[in-house]
Homo-oligomer: A and B are copies of this chain.
């Protein structure tokens, strides 16, 4: 949670698990809040895998000329693509069109395999965050498989934090601004496959581990970024994930 003290935003806690809560309380006397402006935020998750859902908003499927899928369309992004809020999205010289895709992210809290139809999926969810599923649109088409086009380094901005204080099941707003202009404006009420369906579908195939990240799909309004552009994804009740796009280097390092 983020608190305002004397007009300065400070992070007072980073989702301690229930077991850690008493230890955290014991050491709270030593805790010195750091103004957010002085902190370098890291990505709030280090997932063993990132499972993404394609075409999960009707209007977005339509804008790219695709049918609405009959089942969730799964793909993976590699953990090496993760950057934090404030980090730079590096646009590879291999692509002529790199798009933003703002999304709600689910952070898994408990090992999940074959979640049953009668089970409450919320017991497996640690919290929610924001994801920008950056995509090299031209390579996505020419490669066929999306792993490379969506898997470049820096193509998975995540953050700025994880919260369990929102209820996306009731519908929350997902917005993306490019250089301050509103480009995407959706609500999780419009997900073709809602969160419980997604987690049951994914865990029928692959076990989700604590810390794993599920990106729930992007609403209409995706579009290209240019070097120097600032893209911000805002999810109601979480905050804003903000990144600048720049030309990437191809130096060996």
Chain A residues with a Cβ under 8 A of chain B: 48-49, 51, 54, 71, 73-76, 78-81, 92, 94, 113-116, 119, 143-148, 151-153, 204-209, 249-253
Query: Could you say which residues of chain B place their CB within 8 Å of the CB of A209?
Result: 80
Query: Can you pick out 30 interface pairs between chain A and chain B where the beta carbons lie within 8 Å of each other?
Result: A48-B48, A48-B80, A49-B79, A49-B80, A51-B78, A71-B143, A73-B143, A73-B145, A74-B143, A74-B145, A74-B147, A76-B78, A76-B147, A76-B151, A78-B206, A80-B206, A80-B208, A80-B209, A113-B153, A113-B253, A114-B250, A114-B252, A115-B252, A119-B252, A145-B146, A147-B147, A151-B205, A152-B206, A153-B206, A204-B250
Q: A145-B145, A153-B206 are in contact. List 11 more A-B contacts (CB 8 A).
A: A73-B143, A74-B143, A75-B145, A76-B76, A76-B151, A94-B205, A113-B252, A114-B249, A114-B251, A148-B206, A151-B206
Rounded to whole Å, the gap between the CB of A92 and the closest CB of chain B is 7
User: For A115, what are the chain B residues with a Cβ–Cβ distance below 8 Å?
Assistant: 252
Task: Please indicate the chain B residues that have their CB under 8 angstroms from the CB of A145 in the complex.
Answer: 54, 73-75, 145-146
- In this complex, the member of A78, A113, A115, A152 whose beta carbon has the largest number of chain B beta carbons within 10 angstroms is A78
B-side contacts of A151, CB under 8 Å = 74, 76, 205-206
Q: DSSP majority for the A interface?
A: loop
8 nearest A-B residue pairs (beta carbon): A49-B78, A76-B76, A114-B252, A80-B207, A116-B252, A74-B148, A75-B145, A75-B147
Residue of B nearest to A117 (CB): B252
Closest residue to A94 on the B side, CB-wise? B204
Q: Which residues of B contact A113 (CB under 8 A)?
A: 153, 252-253
A209–B82 CA distance with the chains assembled, in angstroms = 13
Q: Which residues of B contact A253 (CB under 8 A)?
A: 113-114
Residues of B within 8 A of A79 (CB): 48-49
Residues on B with C-beta less than 8 A from A48 are: 48, 78-80
Kindly provide the distance from the CB of A122 to the nearest chain B CB, expressed in whole angstroms.
15
Cα distance, A94 to B253, chains bound together (Å) = 43
Instruction: Tell me which residues across on chain B come within 8 A of A119, comparing CB atoms.
Output: 252
Closest CB in chain B relative to A203 CB, distance in Å: 8
